């Protein structure tokens, strides 16, 4: 279970960071979402992985820590609100600049023919 869990966190985080570094707002938003999934799972695992254990000290040899679950719940709620905001902001960026590049406009490229430009800006 630990190995699968670690691999899932690693995949989510790596994908999230990769997408975060893209130049368009949609992949960036997706990247932030995946990153927050990875982070939430990581936070959950900080209380150790245990199945079928009680969240009460002293009743059994091992127990499942309820605190990280409370932390994750808070983080999910906050992450959800932030994602909603960043989606709206990205749409505003698209509407204001007619372009969903994260800098508002494409960086100037010297030799570019019209067809390439159409592919880049989507216009």
Partner 1 sequence: MNHWLTAPILIPLLGGILQTFMGYAPIPLRRTLAVATTVLLVAASFILLSLATDDAYRVYAFGNWQPPFGIVLVLDRLAALMLVMTSVLALFCHIYSLGGADQGNRQFHTLFLFQLMGLNIAFLTGDLFNLFVAFEVLLIASYGLLMHGGGTVRTVPGLHYVVLNLAGSAIFLISVGMIYSVTGTLNMADLAVKVPQVADENLNIVQAGGMMLLVVFALKAAILPLCFWLPKAYGNATAPVAALFAVMTKVGIYAIIRVYLLVFGDNAGPLANLGMDWLFPLALITLAMGVIGALGANNLRSLIAWQVIISVGTLLAPIALGSQAGISAALFYMLSTTWTVGGLFLVANLIAGQRGGAADYIITAPKMHHRRLLGVLFMLGAVAAAGLPPLSGFLGKVLILKSVDSGVPMAWLWGVLLVGSFLTILAYSRAGSIVFWRTIDGHVDARESLSGTTAVAAALLTALSVVIVALANPINAYTEATAAQLLDTSAYLEILKAPMAGEEN
Query: Which residues bind to partner 1, rule: CB under 8 A?
Result: 20, 25, 28, 32, 35-36, 39-40, 42-43, 45-48, 67-68, 71, 74-75, 78-79, 81-82, 85-86, 89-90, 92-93, 96-97, 102-104
**With the C-alpha atoms ordered 11, 16, 19, 25, is the resulting torsion angle positive or negative?**
positive
Contact 99, 106 (CB under 8 A): yes
State which residue, 6 or 20, has the beta carbon closest to partner 1: 20
Contact 1, 12 (CB under 8 A): no
Rounded least distance, CB 59 to partner 1, Å: 18
State which residue, 46 or 121, has the beta carbon closest to partner 1: 46
State which residue, 73 or 120, has the beta carbon closest to partner 1: 73
Could you identify the residue written with the tokens 């592919």? 119
Contact 36, 83 (CB under 8 A): yes
């Amino acid at each position: 279970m630990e190995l699968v869990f670690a691999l899932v966190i690693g995949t989510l985080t790596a994908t999230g960071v990769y997408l975060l570094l893209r130049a368009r707002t949609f992949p960036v938003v997706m990247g932030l979402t995946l990153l927050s999934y990875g982070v939430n799972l990581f936070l959950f695992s900080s209380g150790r992985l245990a199945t079928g254990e009680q969240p009460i000290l002293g009743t059994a040899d091992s127990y499942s820590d309820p605190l990280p679950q409370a932390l994750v719940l808070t983080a999910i709620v906050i992450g959800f609100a932030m994602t909603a905001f960043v989606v709206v902001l990205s749409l505003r960026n698209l509407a204001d600049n007619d372009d969903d590049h994260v800098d508002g406009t494409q960086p100037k490229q010297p030799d570019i023919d019209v067809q390439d430009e159409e592919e880049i800006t989507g216009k």
